[in-house]
Chain A
Protein backbone atom coordinates (compact mmCIF):
# COMPACT_ATOMS: atom_id res chain seq x y z
CA UNK A 1 0.00 0.00 0.00
CA UNK A 2 1.05 3.62 -0.56
CA UNK A 3 1.82 5.70 2.51
CA UNK A 4 2.77 9.38 2.50
CA UNK A 5 4.95 10.55 5.35
CA UNK A 6 6.98 13.63 6.06
CA UNK A 7 10.31 12.47 7.45
CA UNK A 8 12.56 15.18 8.84
CA UNK A 9 10.71 17.73 6.76
CA UNK A 10 10.96 15.77 3.49
CA UNK A 11 7.81 14.35 1.89
CA UNK A 12 8.16 10.62 1.29
CA UNK A 13 5.80 8.36 -0.64
CA UNK A 14 6.55 4.77 0.22
CA UNK A 15 5.15 1.44 -0.86
CA UNK A 16 4.87 -0.70 2.28
CA UNK A 17 3.32 -3.89 3.53
CA UNK A 18 0.17 -3.06 5.61
CA UNK A 19 1.81 -4.82 8.57
CA UNK A 20 5.13 -2.96 8.31
CA UNK A 21 6.41 -1.16 11.38
CA UNK A 22 7.57 2.43 11.15
CA UNK A 23 10.97 1.34 12.43
CA UNK A 24 11.50 -1.14 9.57
CA UNK A 25 10.25 1.39 7.02
CA UNK A 26 12.51 4.18 8.30
CA UNK A 27 15.54 1.90 8.40
CA UNK A 28 14.83 0.67 4.85
CA UNK A 29 14.72 4.32 3.77
CA UNK A 30 18.21 4.76 5.20
CA UNK A 31 17.48 6.44 8.53
CA UNK A 32 20.14 4.43 10.34
CA UNK A 33 19.77 6.48 13.54
CA UNK A 34 16.51 4.62 14.21
CA UNK A 35 18.07 1.72 16.08
CA UNK A 36 16.59 -1.77 16.21
CA UNK A 37 17.42 -2.70 19.80
CA UNK A 38 14.65 -5.06 20.85
CA UNK A 39 11.82 -4.71 18.26
CA UNK A 40 9.54 -5.17 21.24
CA UNK A 41 8.88 -1.73 22.73
CA UNK A 42 11.17 -2.29 25.68
CA UNK A 43 14.39 -0.42 24.90
CA UNK A 44 13.38 2.88 23.28
CA UNK A 45 16.34 2.92 20.88
CA UNK A 46 14.02 3.38 17.89
CA UNK A 47 12.18 6.39 19.37
CA UNK A 48 11.14 9.05 16.86
CA UNK A 49 8.69 11.93 17.08
CA UNK A 50 5.30 11.31 15.48
CA UNK A 51 3.56 14.66 15.15
CA UNK A 52 5.84 15.95 17.88
CA UNK A 53 5.45 13.12 20.42
CA UNK A 54 8.11 10.47 21.03
CA UNK A 55 6.98 6.92 20.24
CA UNK A 56 8.58 3.50 19.83
CA UNK A 57 8.82 3.29 16.02
CA UNK A 58 8.84 -0.53 16.34
CA UNK A 59 5.32 -0.45 17.85
CA UNK A 60 3.73 1.89 15.29
CA UNK A 61 2.41 0.63 11.96
CA UNK A 62 3.83 2.67 9.10
CA UNK A 63 0.28 3.02 7.75
CA UNK A 64 -0.77 4.57 11.07
CA UNK A 65 1.72 7.38 10.37
CA UNK A 66 0.21 8.11 6.94
CA UNK A 67 -0.12 11.87 6.44
CA UNK A 68 1.82 12.63 9.62
CA UNK A 69 5.20 14.15 10.42
CA UNK A 70 8.02 11.91 11.60
CA UNK A 71 11.18 13.38 13.09
CA UNK A 72 14.32 11.35 13.64
CA UNK A 73 17.40 12.59 15.44
CA UNK A 74 18.81 13.26 11.97
CA UNK A 75 16.17 15.93 11.47
CA UNK A 76 17.08 18.06 14.47
CA UNK A 77 18.32 21.39 13.20
CA UNK A 78 21.91 22.26 14.14
CA UNK A 79 22.34 20.82 17.62
CA UNK A 80 19.29 20.70 19.85
CA UNK A 81 20.13 22.06 23.35
CA UNK A 82 19.86 18.55 24.80
CA UNK A 83 22.27 17.18 22.19
CA UNK A 84 24.78 19.82 23.25
CA UNK A 85 24.35 19.11 26.98
CA UNK A 86 24.68 15.36 26.27
CA UNK A 87 28.00 16.08 24.54
CA UNK A 88 29.18 18.54 27.20
CA UNK A 89 28.33 16.26 30.10
CA UNK A 90 29.37 12.89 28.71
CA UNK A 91 25.85 11.48 28.30
CA UNK A 92 27.10 9.30 25.45
CA UNK A 93 29.29 6.23 25.62
CA UNK A 94 28.67 3.61 22.95
CA UNK A 95 25.96 5.80 21.43
CA UNK A 96 23.44 3.09 20.54
CA UNK A 97 20.68 4.37 22.82
CA UNK A 98 21.49 8.03 22.18
CA UNK A 99 19.21 8.83 19.21
CA UNK A 100 16.15 7.39 20.98
CA UNK A 101 17.04 9.00 24.26
CA UNK A 102 17.52 12.40 22.60
CA UNK A 103 14.11 12.16 20.91
CA UNK A 104 12.46 11.26 24.24
CA UNK A 105 14.24 14.25 25.82
CA UNK A 106 13.11 16.58 23.04
CA UNK A 107 9.48 15.58 23.66
CA UNK A 108 9.94 15.87 27.43
CA UNK A 109 11.50 19.34 27.23
CA UNK A 110 8.77 20.46 24.85
CA UNK A 111 5.78 19.18 26.87
CA UNK A 112 6.76 19.17 30.55
CA UNK A 113 7.29 22.22 32.73
CA UNK A 114 9.37 22.28 35.94
CA UNK A 115 11.40 19.17 35.30
CA UNK A 116 13.25 17.69 38.25
CA UNK A 117 15.33 14.54 38.64
CA UNK A 118 12.34 12.34 39.58
CA UNK A 119 10.37 13.44 36.53
CA UNK A 120 13.32 12.86 34.20
CA UNK A 121 14.02 9.41 35.65
CA UNK A 122 10.32 8.48 35.35
CA UNK A 123 10.35 9.63 31.73
CA UNK A 124 13.39 7.49 30.90
CA UNK A 125 11.50 4.35 31.99
CA UNK A 126 11.36 3.12 28.40
CA UNK A 127 14.85 4.10 27.23
CA UNK A 128 17.53 1.58 28.15
CA UNK A 129 21.22 2.45 28.36
CA UNK A 130 23.72 -0.33 29.03
CA UNK A 131 26.80 1.86 29.47
CA UNK A 132 26.24 4.89 31.61
CA UNK A 133 23.90 3.99 34.46
CA UNK A 134 21.78 6.99 33.37
CA UNK A 135 23.47 9.51 35.66
CA UNK A 136 25.05 11.49 32.82
CA UNK A 137 21.89 11.54 30.71
CA UNK A 138 19.73 12.66 33.61
CA UNK A 139 22.23 15.45 34.30
CA UNK A 140 22.28 16.43 30.64
CA UNK A 141 18.48 16.60 30.34
CA UNK A 142 18.27 18.60 33.58
CA UNK A 143 20.95 20.96 32.30
CA UNK A 144 18.96 21.53 29.12
CA UNK A 145 15.86 22.15 31.24
CA UNK A 146 17.78 24.64 33.37
CA UNK A 147 18.96 26.50 30.27
CA UNK A 148 15.35 27.07 29.26
CA UNK A 149 14.56 28.40 32.75
CA UNK A 150 13.58 25.46 35.03
CA UNK A 151 15.02 25.76 38.52
Chain B
Protein backbone atom coordinates (compact mmCIF):
# COMPACT_ATOMS: atom_id res chain seq x y z
CA UNK B 1 0.00 0.00 0.00
CA UNK B 2 1.98 2.99 -1.22
CA UNK B 3 1.95 5.88 1.24
CA UNK B 4 1.12 9.35 0.02
CA UNK B 5 2.86 12.42 1.37
CA UNK B 6 6.20 10.85 2.29
CA UNK B 7 8.97 13.15 1.09
CA UNK B 8 12.12 11.76 2.70
CA UNK B 9 13.64 8.33 3.18
CA UNK B 10 16.71 8.17 5.40
CA UNK B 11 19.15 5.32 6.02
CA UNK B 12 21.21 6.26 9.08
CA UNK B 13 24.30 4.22 9.88
CA UNK B 14 24.34 4.60 13.67
CA UNK B 15 21.75 4.40 16.43
CA UNK B 16 22.55 7.99 17.47
CA UNK B 17 22.01 9.26 13.95
CA UNK B 18 18.76 7.29 13.65
CA UNK B 19 17.40 8.65 16.93
CA UNK B 20 18.30 12.22 15.95
CA UNK B 21 16.24 11.80 12.76
CA UNK B 22 13.06 10.89 14.65
CA UNK B 23 10.34 13.44 15.31
CA UNK B 24 6.62 14.13 15.08
CA UNK B 25 6.52 13.52 11.31
CA UNK B 26 9.32 10.97 11.19
CA UNK B 27 9.10 7.28 12.10
CA UNK B 28 11.58 4.42 12.34
CA UNK B 29 11.11 1.49 9.99
CA UNK B 30 12.25 -2.06 10.68
CA UNK B 31 10.52 -4.21 8.07
CA UNK B 32 7.90 -1.55 7.42
CA UNK B 33 4.96 -3.98 7.42
CA UNK B 34 3.09 -2.23 10.24
CA UNK B 35 4.06 1.32 9.28
CA UNK B 36 2.91 0.94 5.66
CA UNK B 37 -0.55 -0.18 6.85
CA UNK B 38 -0.97 2.14 9.84
CA UNK B 39 1.00 5.31 9.23
CA UNK B 40 0.50 8.20 11.64
CA UNK B 41 -1.10 11.35 10.23
CA UNK B 42 1.40 13.82 8.82
CA UNK B 43 4.13 11.23 8.31
CA UNK B 44 6.71 12.73 5.95
CA UNK B 45 9.99 10.95 6.74
CA UNK B 46 10.82 7.26 6.93
CA UNK B 47 13.94 6.31 8.88
CA UNK B 48 15.01 2.87 7.64
CA UNK B 49 17.02 1.06 10.32
CA UNK B 50 18.41 -1.65 8.01
CA UNK B 51 21.96 -0.25 7.96
CA UNK B 52 22.26 -0.27 11.76
CA UNK B 53 24.31 -3.19 13.11
CA UNK B 54 21.28 -4.69 14.86
CA UNK B 55 20.56 -7.84 12.84
CA UNK B 56 21.94 -10.56 15.12
CA UNK B 57 21.12 -13.30 17.62
CA UNK B 58 23.91 -13.80 20.15
CA UNK B 59 24.01 -16.74 22.50
CA UNK B 60 25.91 -17.28 25.71
CA UNK B 61 24.33 -15.96 28.87
CA UNK B 62 20.81 -16.38 27.47
CA UNK B 63 20.14 -14.60 24.18
CA UNK B 64 20.68 -11.10 22.90
CA UNK B 65 18.57 -10.34 19.86
CA UNK B 66 19.22 -7.24 17.76
CA UNK B 67 16.17 -5.10 17.07
CA UNK B 68 16.20 -5.50 13.28
CA UNK B 69 16.26 -9.31 13.46
CA UNK B 70 13.26 -10.71 11.60
CA UNK B 71 10.73 -12.96 13.31
CA UNK B 72 11.71 -15.67 10.81
CA UNK B 73 15.36 -15.45 11.87
CA UNK B 74 14.23 -16.01 15.47
CA UNK B 75 12.04 -18.95 14.42
CA UNK B 76 14.91 -20.58 12.49
CA UNK B 77 17.77 -19.94 14.94
CA UNK B 78 18.62 -23.44 16.24
CA UNK B 79 19.47 -22.44 19.83
CA UNK B 80 16.58 -20.03 20.22
CA UNK B 81 14.24 -22.59 18.62
CA UNK B 82 15.19 -25.26 21.17
CA UNK B 83 15.19 -22.88 24.17
CA UNK B 84 12.67 -24.01 26.86
CA UNK B 85 11.35 -26.92 24.79
CA UNK B 86 10.65 -24.84 21.72
CA UNK B 87 8.36 -22.11 23.06
CA UNK B 88 9.59 -19.58 20.46
CA UNK B 89 8.73 -21.55 17.30
CA UNK B 90 5.54 -22.78 19.02
CA UNK B 91 4.48 -19.15 19.33
CA UNK B 92 6.06 -17.66 16.20
CA UNK B 93 4.33 -20.03 13.80
CA UNK B 94 1.07 -18.39 14.95
CA UNK B 95 2.28 -14.86 14.20
CA UNK B 96 0.75 -13.69 10.93
CA UNK B 97 2.17 -15.69 8.05
CA UNK B 98 5.68 -16.55 6.82
CA UNK B 99 5.31 -13.65 4.36
CA UNK B 100 4.92 -11.27 7.30
CA UNK B 101 7.52 -12.93 9.54
CA UNK B 102 10.12 -12.72 6.76
CA UNK B 103 9.81 -8.94 6.80
CA UNK B 104 8.65 -7.93 10.30
CA UNK B 105 11.40 -7.21 12.84
CA UNK B 106 11.30 -7.93 16.57
CA UNK B 107 12.10 -4.31 17.43
CA UNK B 108 9.32 -3.02 15.21
CA UNK B 109 6.92 -5.53 16.68
CA UNK B 110 7.71 -4.53 20.28
CA UNK B 111 7.59 -0.81 19.46
CA UNK B 112 4.12 -1.26 18.00
CA UNK B 113 3.08 -2.80 21.32
CA UNK B 114 -0.32 -4.11 20.33
CA UNK B 115 -1.94 -7.24 18.87
CA UNK B 116 0.86 -9.54 19.89
CA UNK B 117 1.53 -13.20 20.50
CA UNK B 118 5.25 -12.47 20.88
CA UNK B 119 5.02 -10.09 23.83
CA UNK B 120 3.30 -12.55 26.24
CA UNK B 121 6.04 -15.13 25.67
CA UNK B 122 8.82 -12.58 26.16
CA UNK B 123 7.13 -11.34 29.35
CA UNK B 124 6.81 -14.90 30.67
CA UNK B 125 10.55 -15.35 30.10
CA UNK B 126 11.44 -12.10 31.97
CA UNK B 127 12.89 -10.57 28.80
CA UNK B 128 14.61 -7.22 28.84
CA UNK B 129 14.70 -4.49 26.25
CA UNK B 130 17.50 -2.03 25.53
CA UNK B 131 16.24 1.38 24.52
CA UNK B 132 18.09 4.41 23.15
CA UNK B 133 16.65 7.89 23.62
CA UNK B 134 19.82 9.89 23.91
CA UNK B 135 21.24 7.40 26.36
CA UNK B 136 21.10 3.63 26.21
CA UNK B 137 19.50 1.68 29.04
CA UNK B 138 18.21 -1.81 29.61
CA UNK B 139 14.93 -2.36 31.43
CA UNK B 140 12.51 -5.25 31.81
CA UNK B 141 9.96 -5.58 29.05
CA UNK B 142 7.28 -5.42 31.74
CA UNK B 143 8.48 -1.98 32.88
CA UNK B 144 8.84 -0.89 29.26
CA UNK B 145 5.10 -1.30 28.67
CA UNK B 146 4.01 -0.33 32.16
CA UNK B 147 5.75 3.03 31.73
CA UNK B 148 4.44 3.42 28.18
CA UNK B 149 7.95 3.85 26.78
CA UNK B 150 6.85 2.28 23.49
CA UNK B 151 4.70 5.36 22.90
CA UNK B 152 7.61 7.76 23.32
CA UNK B 153 10.29 8.88 20.89
CA UNK B 154 12.94 6.16 21.23
CA UNK B 155 14.64 3.30 19.46
CA UNK B 156 14.68 -0.28 20.65
CA UNK B 157 18.14 -1.66 19.98
CA UNK B 158 18.20 -5.09 21.63
CA UNK B 159 16.03 -7.71 23.33
CA UNK B 160 17.51 -9.88 26.06
CA UNK B 161 16.25 -13.33 27.01
CA UNK B 162 17.72 -14.68 30.26
CA UNK B 163 19.13 -18.23 30.40
CA UNK B 164 16.75 -20.97 31.54
CA UNK B 165 16.95 -22.17 35.14
CA UNK B 166 17.73 -25.88 35.61
CA UNK B 167 14.13 -27.07 36.05
CA UNK B 168 12.15 -24.58 34.03
CA UNK B 169 9.58 -24.90 31.26
CA UNK B 170 7.34 -22.54 29.31
CA UNK B 171 4.44 -22.85 26.89
CA UNK B 172 2.18 -20.68 24.74
CA UNK B 173 -1.51 -21.06 23.88
CA UNK B 174 -3.38 -18.92 21.34
CA UNK B 175 -7.15 -19.05 20.98
CA UNK B 176 -8.33 -17.59 17.68
CA UNK B 177 -11.16 -18.18 15.23
CA UNK B 178 -8.83 -19.32 12.47
CA UNK B 179 -5.12 -20.06 12.44
CA UNK B 180 -4.15 -16.81 10.69
CA UNK B 181 -6.57 -14.67 12.70
CA UNK B 182 -5.61 -12.44 15.60
CA UNK B 183 -5.98 -14.07 18.99
CA UNK B 184 -9.26 -13.68 20.87
CA UNK B 185 -7.00 -14.34 23.86
CA UNK B 186 -3.54 -15.75 24.36
CA UNK B 187 -1.51 -17.04 27.27
CA UNK B 188 2.15 -17.73 28.02
CA UNK B 189 3.30 -19.45 31.21
CA UNK B 190 6.63 -20.31 32.74
CA UNK B 191 7.23 -22.40 35.85
CA UNK B 192 10.58 -22.93 37.62
CA UNK B 193 10.82 -25.78 40.13
CA UNK B 194 13.35 -26.03 42.94
CA UNK B 195 15.20 -29.23 43.84
CA UNK B 196 12.26 -30.54 45.87
CA UNK B 197 9.87 -30.04 42.95
CA UNK B 198 8.20 -27.02 44.52
CA UNK B 199 7.36 -24.00 42.38
CA UNK B 200 10.14 -21.46 42.98
CA UNK B 201 9.01 -18.96 40.36
CA UNK B 202 6.02 -18.70 38.05
CA UNK B 203 4.77 -16.35 35.35
CA UNK B 204 1.25 -16.38 33.97
CA UNK B 205 0.82 -13.84 31.17
CA UNK B 206 -2.56 -13.31 29.53
CA UNK B 207 -2.90 -11.17 26.41
CA UNK B 208 -5.53 -9.82 24.01
CA UNK B 209 -7.94 -9.36 26.90
CA UNK B 210 -8.11 -7.25 24.59
CA UNK B 211 -5.39 -5.22 26.33
CA UNK B 212 -1.75 -5.99 25.65
CA UNK B 213 -0.46 -9.07 27.46
CA UNK B 214 0.68 -8.53 31.03
CA UNK B 215 1.79 -10.80 33.87
CA UNK B 216 -1.11 -11.70 36.18
CA UNK B 217 0.42 -11.63 39.65
CA UNK B 218 -2.43 -13.40 41.55
CA UNK B 219 -2.25 -16.33 39.12
CA UNK B 220 1.50 -16.68 39.60
CA UNK B 221 1.02 -16.37 43.38
CA UNK B 222 -1.47 -19.27 43.27
CA UNK B 223 1.29 -21.50 41.91
CA UNK B 224 4.17 -20.36 44.08
CA UNK B 225 5.20 -22.91 46.72
CA UNK B 226 2.89 -25.62 45.40
CA UNK B 227 4.00 -28.99 44.04
CA UNK B 228 2.44 -27.94 40.70
CA UNK B 229 -0.31 -30.54 40.36
CA UNK B 230 -3.30 -30.29 37.99
CA UNK B 231 -5.48 -28.77 40.75
CA UNK B 232 -3.00 -25.89 40.96
CA UNK B 233 -3.66 -25.13 37.26
CA UNK B 234 -7.35 -24.67 38.03
CA UNK B 235 -6.58 -22.38 40.95
CA UNK B 236 -4.21 -20.28 38.87
CA UNK B 237 -6.71 -20.10 35.99
CA UNK B 238 -9.49 -18.99 38.34
CA UNK B 239 -7.18 -16.41 39.91
CA UNK B 240 -6.25 -15.07 36.46
CA UNK B 241 -9.86 -14.85 35.28
CA UNK B 242 -10.80 -13.11 38.53
CA UNK B 243 -7.97 -10.58 38.38
CA UNK B 244 -8.32 -9.40 34.77
CA UNK B 245 -10.83 -6.81 33.62
CA UNK B 246 -11.85 -8.22 30.24
CA UNK B 247 -13.20 -6.09 27.42
CA UNK B 248 -15.33 -6.73 24.34
CA UNK B 249 -14.39 -6.07 20.73
CA UNK B 250 -15.11 -7.55 17.30
CA UNK B 251 -13.08 -10.64 18.16
CA UNK B 252 -14.77 -11.70 21.40
CA UNK B 253 -16.99 -10.44 24.22
CA UNK B 254 -15.71 -9.83 27.73
CA UNK B 255 -17.67 -12.78 29.12
CA UNK B 256 -16.36 -15.10 26.44
CA UNK B 257 -12.82 -13.90 27.10
CA UNK B 258 -13.18 -14.73 30.79
CA UNK B 259 -14.12 -18.29 29.82
CA UNK B 260 -11.28 -18.43 27.27
CA UNK B 261 -8.86 -17.22 29.94
CA UNK B 262 -9.68 -20.10 32.28
CA UNK B 263 -9.28 -22.59 29.42
CA UNK B 264 -6.08 -21.04 28.07
CA UNK B 265 -4.30 -20.83 31.44
CA UNK B 266 -5.29 -24.39 32.36
CA UNK B 267 -4.13 -25.75 28.99
CA UNK B 268 -0.93 -23.74 28.99
CA UNK B 269 0.07 -24.89 32.47
CA UNK B 270 -0.70 -28.52 31.54
CA UNK B 271 1.79 -28.23 28.66
CA UNK B 272 4.35 -26.68 31.01
CA UNK B 273 3.87 -29.63 33.39
CA UNK B 274 4.34 -32.18 30.63
CA UNK B 275 7.56 -30.42 29.61
CA UNK B 276 8.86 -30.34 33.18
CA UNK B 277 8.09 -34.04 33.49
CA UNK B 278 10.05 -34.75 30.36
CA UNK B 279 13.01 -32.73 31.59
CA UNK B 280 13.31 -34.04 35.13
Please say whether chains A and B are actual partners in one complex. Answer: yes
Contacts known (A19-B46, A64-B32); A123 close to B98, Cβ less than 8 A = yes
Complex Cα distance A57/B60, Å? 36
Q: Which of A21, A50, A64, A124 contacts B29 (CB 8 A)?
A: A64
B2 touches A20 (CB 8 A): yes
What B residues does A53 contact at CB under 8 A? 72, 102
Contacts known (A19-B3, A21-B2); A60 close to B103, Cβ less than 8 A = yes
B37 touches A41 (CB 8 A): yes
A126 touches B1 (CB 8 A): no
* A111 located at the interface, meaning its Cβ lies under 8 Å from any Cβ of chain B in the complex: yes
A107 touches B97 (CB 8 A): no
Total residues of chain B contacting the partner, CB 8 A? 30
Contacts known (A39-B1, A59-B103, A64-B50); A125 close to B179, Cβ less than 8 A = yes
A111 touches B76 (CB 8 A): yes
Complex Cα distance A30/B1, Å? 18
Contacts known (A39-B1, A59-B1); A126 close to B98, Cβ less than 8 A = yes
- Shortest distance from the beta carbon of B74 to any chain A beta carbon, whole Å: 14
Q: Which of B8, B36, B48 contacts A59 (CB 8 A)?
A: B36
A18 touches B46 (CB 8 A): yes
- Shortest distance from the beta carbon of A139 to any chain B beta carbon, whole Å: 19
A-B contact count (CB 8 A): 99
Of chain A, the residue at the smallest CB distance from B39 is A19
What A residues does B36 contact at CB under 8 A? 21, 58-61
A59 touches B97 (CB 8 A): no
- Shortest distance from the beta carbon of A109 to any chain B beta carbon, whole Å: 12
B-contact bits for A107-131, CB 8 A (1 contact / 0 none): 1100100000000011111110000
What A residues does B50 contact at CB under 8 A? 64
Complex Cα distance A126/B33, Å? 14
A122 touches B29 (CB 8 A): no
Of chain B, the residue at the smallest CB distance from A111 is B76
What A residues does B29 contact at CB under 8 A? 61, 64
- Shortest distance from the beta carbon of B194 to any chain A beta carbon, whole Å: 36
* B201 located at the interface, meaning its Cβ lies under 8 Å from any Cβ of chain A in the complex: no
Complex Cα distance A64/B50, Å? 8
Interface centre among B32, B36, B46, B96 (most CB of A within 10 A): B36
- Shortest distance from the beta carbon of B243 to any chain A beta carbon, whole Å: 32
Complex Cα distance A82/B17, Å? 45
User: Beyond the given A59-B1, A61-B29, A61-B48, could you list 19 further A-B residue pairs with CB under 8 A, ordered by the A residue number?
Assistant: A17-B6, A18-B7, A19-B3, A19-B4, A19-B5, A21-B2, A24-B2, A41-B37, A55-B99, A56-B99, A59-B36, A59-B37, A59-B103, A60-B32, A63-B48, A64-B48, A122-B179, A123-B97, A126-B98
Chain A interface residues toward B at CB < 8 A = 1, 17-21, 24, 39-41, 44, 47, 50, 53-56, 58-61, 63-64, 104, 107-108, 111, 121-127
Chain B interface residues toward A at CB < 8 A = 1-9, 29, 31-33, 36-37, 46, 48, 50, 72, 76, 93, 96-100, 102-103, 179-180
